[in-house]
Structure 1
Amino acid sequence: MRVAGGIRPHRNHLLESLRRADRELRHRAVRLSSGPEPEVGELRKSFHDELDEIQAGIVRMAALVTEAVPRATESLLESNLELAQQLITSDDELDYLSVHLEERCHQVLALQSPMAGDLRALSTALRLNAELERSGDLAVNIAKGTRRIYGTRYDATLRGLLVRMSEEACRLVRLAIDSYVDRNAGLAAALDDIDDQLDGLNQDCVQAVFQAHNDGTIDLQAAVQLCLISRYYERIGDHAVNIGERVVYMVTGWLPEHTGSARLKDRQHYQPDDTEEE
């Protein structure tokens, strides 16, 4: 007989379920995606396809620059106002490509998080984009010069120098882009020396302008504008050299600025003792 209010001891252990409630869920991986994840190889291919498209955009911008510069020179020498206006208007295409390319680079940086060489390739593309966009602006400045000194007559010496500067500036841009496409660090590094020829032409052109002004063949306003235009050609060459420096960085990871930075660190590291006897 059981006593009321008492506790009846259970003779056996609690019954266990024949099937585990979690079905060993904790012992295996949990996937929250709704479908199969892309393989690493597919992601890498997609990323490099993006890089190829960005490179193609850079090449397209360079082509527009090398088309614009000789046409701007023609508008200047032939006093062709219609051609000058066409060039000024067509710069909108280069600006559009520049904005689109920059946005594309930022998107890839955000979504792909590239590292090492891939990161340098993207940062280089951003810098080349800026250098080429500025080169296009300089070509527009040459075309605008046509309107400012419309009707100016150029002697054979001055005309020849302007044509040569136009050709040399375009050659430097093409060489710079070739070094970028081919990943040719040697050619990219050589651009600084190649640019010396354009620098020399700039000096010759300025002297020719002064001589023409002294001879009375061009007025003061034309002389000032032609000196500026000569400088525009020279600056296009400088942008090509800058492109070469970024290509060297892309391929090797080294920039000229690194040398100056190292010198600064050395100076900061070496702090001479003021109490040290001379």
Structure 2
Amino acid sequence: MRWSDGRRSDNVEDRRGMTVGRKAVGGGIGTIILALVAMYFGIDPSVVLQQGGSPLTAPTETRQAGKPPASDELAQFVSVVLADTEDTWHELFRKNGKTYQEPKLVLFTGAVESACGYAQAAMGPFYCPLDQKVYIDLSFYRDLKERFKAPGDFAQAYVIAHEVGHHVQSLLGISEKAHDLQQRSGKTQANQLSVRLELQADCLAGIWAHHADRSRQVLESGDVEEALQAATSIGDDRLQQQAQGYVVPESFTHGSSEQRVRWFKTGLDTGNFGACNTFGAQSL
């Protein structure tokens, strides 16, 4: 991926290495609320619930977040990708008579406090609509390469573009509508709505890639294959098979590998938001 000469975003908050205190927020109902938040954002709630037997501790930050150092290549890469999503979505919103509000991206290490609650790096990258921020521990990229067998800078860019896709959904009111429907649904239907939300975010990531390459020629040979490998590696079926040896489609929250690849390619091939209507699709 061609990125080194790209614009850096001003919206990156570097919280890595911050001096962090601890405050107990308790188990019980506090843990349950955090688990529900986790489910809403497609996070495995067991990551939170496993901590429910003892008081949950959340970080209290004792200094202001800074900007990533210029010598940190991976952080600079993230900043360039974020800037590129800003440029793309500003233009697409403008063409549709809307104004794009840029999200912040928070780099953290180990654990972080967001407006949506306390999160650990084990949850993976996530977007919080309550503060309009994307959160990522860059160690996830090591996992993407080593555990999920999806190396490459464009695979890393896909992850950011997917989370920014959730921000786009939030700005357009899609996330709120899906959440309202989930609250009135049974578990299986709520999971299906989560899958549709996640697959649409994959499609929106593809839209970003389509327009970024057309406008700024960011793609190099092999880049698309990197993103498709990442989408394949983090499908619910692949992850469940690895974790427990069998697959339970009714419990999917993000979609199968095949679905994630297909919807990302839909956005990439068309560049058209209308093609990303996963909620209107009869078949995913």
Q: Give the TM-score taking structure 1 as reference length.
A: 0.28
Structure whose alpha-carbon radius of gyration is higher: 1
Q: Give the TM-score taking structure 2 as reference length.
A: 0.28
Bigger relative contact order, structure 1 or 2, given CA contacts below 8 A and separation 6+? 1
More strand by share: 2
More helix by share: 1
